[in-house]
Amino acid sequence: MHTILLTGGAGFIGSHLTRLFVKKYPQYKIINLDKLTYAGNLENLRDIENEANYKFVKGDITDLTLLRRLFDEHKFTAVLHCAAESHVDRSITEPLAFITTNVLGTGSLLQAAKEAWASDMDGKIFYHISTDEVYGSLGEEGLFTEETAYDPRSPYSASKASSDHIVRAFYHTYKLPVKISNCSNNYGPYHFPEKLIPLCIHNIISNKPLPIYGKGENVRDWLFVEDHVRAIDVIFHTGKIGETYNIGGHNEWTNICLVRELCRQMDEKLGRENGSSEKLITYVTDRAGHDLRYAIDATKLKDELGWLPSLQFEEGISKTIDWYLANTEWLNHVTSGDYQKYYQKQYKV
């Protein structure tokens, strides 16, 4: 039995995680604390919003007074911490928002949990959801393991690295029962169309240019979001306190090959002539400090906890495209208003 404070549940990964826990564990209570930034959207949770074991609270993880009140009111036994500013490009233009939410927000959550659990840490879990970007950039060879030294390069990854360090500091200093996972790039339904895959799906639908940074040779290791939240479930329930687990897809793609695969599948699904979407590919100025390659070694998670990704990438991408084609109303909502301003500023169009 757990009463869980889940942060950032209205975002991409958070909404999948909320759905999994609400449906799979009816005996748990899930309180979703989300500020509803541009990336948070309660439409992502429509199918579970009336479940008896689920409640939404609008609020900011940097608000320690609110956090103390919520801990007092709900007597949380666990935290699943997903809330963050998550987009690298935005961190280049607005680094302070990332430092505020990702560093100060995580610190405030840790402080509230430490105070609430001071007299009894038994059975409690503070689970911090993090990223492979904390390890920096790989060359053409090698994989990130849990022992890889941190070497973050963007304001986003530096803020996530800082938060990881602070989580570990609370474990070592105060014996707060923490767990951390560092995952590679996710994709799937409800992914906000500022990130490469949903942005390209959206632009192919609307016949707009597909902006590829630099030469398109950067490599990412893609994992279907439902596989990520399944891994979080396994680590939450069977992972060891104080440990870190890498989660990855064993699925490396250069950006250009990935976008070509998207174009191929979308031409087929939209009944367009093969090769027509590829003509939308447009090379644009590279991202500042663009990390060359990420790739995860998830052996520890497989060997110790038995987790493996379930989907082949071509199948996952096909499911993802089908979801976007079936949910154009969602896509239209999230790409109206402020999204247009962001897009013009970022891509100068």
Residues forming the site for ligand NAD (CB under 6 A) = 7-8, 10-14, 34-37, 39-40, 60-62, 82-86, 101, 105, 129, 131, 160, 183, 185-186, 192
Q: Which of 101, 63, 106 is nearest to 85 (CA)?
A: 101
Q: Which amino acid is at 91?
A: S
Q: In angstroms, rounded to a whole number, what is the distance separating the alpha carbons of residues 335 and 22?
A: 28
Nearest residue (CB) to ligand DAU, 81 versus 220: 220
| Closest CB 213 distance from ligand DAU, rounded Å | 4
- State yes or no: residue 195 binds ligand DAU (CB under 6 A): yes
Q: How far is the CB of 210 from ligand DAU (least distance, A)?
A: 8
Active-site residue flag, 156: yes
- Comparing CB distances to ligand NAD, the nearer of 44 and 265 is 44
Q: Does 133 participate in catalysis according to the annotation? A: yes
Q: How far apart are CA 164 and CA 249, in angstroms?
A: 21
Number of residues that bind ligand DAU (CB under 6 A): 19
CA distance 198 to 219: 17
Three-class SS of 306-332: CCCCCCCHHHHHHHHHHHHHHCHHHHH
| Chosen residue from 83, 116, 161, 212 binding ligand DAU by CB under 6 A | 212
The answer to whether 171 is a known catalytic residue is: no
With CB under 5 to 8 Å by kind, the binding choice for 61 among ligand DAU, ligand NAD, none is ligand NAD
Residue tagged active-site, from 34, 60, 85, 132: 132
Residues 49, 253: Cα–Cα separation, whole Å: 36
Query: Given the rule CB under 6 A, which of 83-91, 94-102, 108-116, 240-248 is the region that contacts ligand DAU?
Result: 83-91
Q: Which is nearer to ligand DAU, 49 or 89 (CB)?
A: 89
Taking the CA of residue 36 as centre, how many other CA atoms within 13 Å lie in the half-sphere pointing to its CB?
10
The gap from C-alpha 53 to its chain's centroid, in whole angstroms, comes to 23
279: amino acid identity, one letter: K
Q: What is the 3-state secondary structure (H, E, C) of 40-103?
A: CCHHHHHHHCCCCCEEEEECCCCCHHHHHHHHHHHCCCEEEECCCCCCHHHHHHCHHHHHHHHH
Q: Which amino acid does the sequence have at 208?
A: K
Give the nearer residue to ligand DAU in terms of CB position, either 48 or 180.
180
Q: Which H or E element spans position 34?
A: strand 29-34
211 near ligand DAU, rule: CB under 6 A: yes
Footprint (CB under 6 A) of ligand DAU, residues 235-264: 255
Q: Which residue has the tokens 């090769």?
A: 275
Q: Which is nearer to ligand NAD, 62 or 320 (CB)?
A: 62
Q: Which is nearer to ligand DAU, 179 or 191 (CB)?
A: 191
The item of ligand NAD, ligand DAU, none sharing an interface with residue 212, based on CB under 5 to 8 Å by kind, is ligand DAU
Indicate the DSSP class of residue 279: G
| Catalytic, out of 135, 156, 245, 343 | 156
Strand partners, 219: 254, 293
Q: How far is the CB of 273 from ligand NAD (least distance, A)?
A: 32
Residue 91 as a binder of ligand DAU (CB under 6 A): the answer is no
Q: Tell me which of 22, 125, 158, 196 binds ligand DAU, using CB under 6 A.
A: 196
> Which residues in the 6-25 window bind ligand DAU by CB under 6 A?
none
90 forms part of the interface with ligand DAU (CB under 6 A):
no
For residue 186, give the H/E element and its range: strand 185-187
Q: How far apart are CA 278 and CA 266, in angstroms?
A: 10
- Contact residues toward ligand DAU (CB under 6 A) are 86-88, 131-133, 184-185, 195-196, 199, 211-213, 218, 220, 255, 287, 294
Residues designated catalytic: 132-133, 156
